[in-house]
Amino acid sequence: MKIGDSNFAAFNISAQGLNLQRIKIKLISENIANSETTNTKNGQPYHRKFLRVGAITENDFQNNFGFTNSIQLRTTEPGHFKGEEEEISGGEKVNANFQVMEDKSKGEYVFMPNHPDADENGYVQLPNVNIINEMVDMINATRSYEANLTALKSSKTIIKNSLDI
């Protein structure tokens, strides 16, 4: 069986969530590290980076994870269980496309006439990074990472326990 099979879809979904949160944490760390960088290679102050995440279409969701529109309970004999197919809600998409974006808004200007990057009036444009917002985003990304890790461990436990039956 390949990892894309629906038997392992929970692992794929959790792994993608872990990967997205890891990338977010990396970008937040980069933003914090450059929160006082007033001159980059292009001569501008550092611009905050963020991760833009978008949902995929339902067809891509089915192709990536091997889901069909319904789940049916398999039985050894038809008389053992009289159940109906359970529809999967199609509203929430768990796989996502992502793109690293750069916030082009300007940072605040501070009067520092002795700073090497000061303009003719003595003002320095600081990066558009707000440390408090970055720390809040870091806590959020860390908690989301932990939630995805818990879901992955739960999936592993469910599969392990089903093998013991």
Report residue 121: phi and psi, to 5°. -95, 0
pLDDT value at 143 more than 70:
yes
Q: Is the pTM of this model over 0.75?
A: no
Residue 24: CB partners within 8 Å, gap ≥ 6?
51, 137, 141
User: Could you count the other beta carbons within 10 Å of the beta carbon of residue 65?
Assistant: 18
Three-state SS across 15-75?
Answer: HHHHHHHHHHHHHHHHHHHCCCCCCCCCCCCCCCEEEEEEECCHHHHHHHHCCCCEECCCC
Confidence at residue 93, expressed as pLDDT on a 0 to 100 scale: 35
pLDDT in tens, 47-77: 999 988 877 666 655 555 555 544 454 555 5
Question: What is the DSSP code string of 90-114?
Answer: -S----EEEEEEE------EEE-TT
Residue in this structure with the two tokens 């069909």, named with its chain if needed: 68
Confidence at residue 84, expressed as pLDDT on a 0 to 100 scale: 39
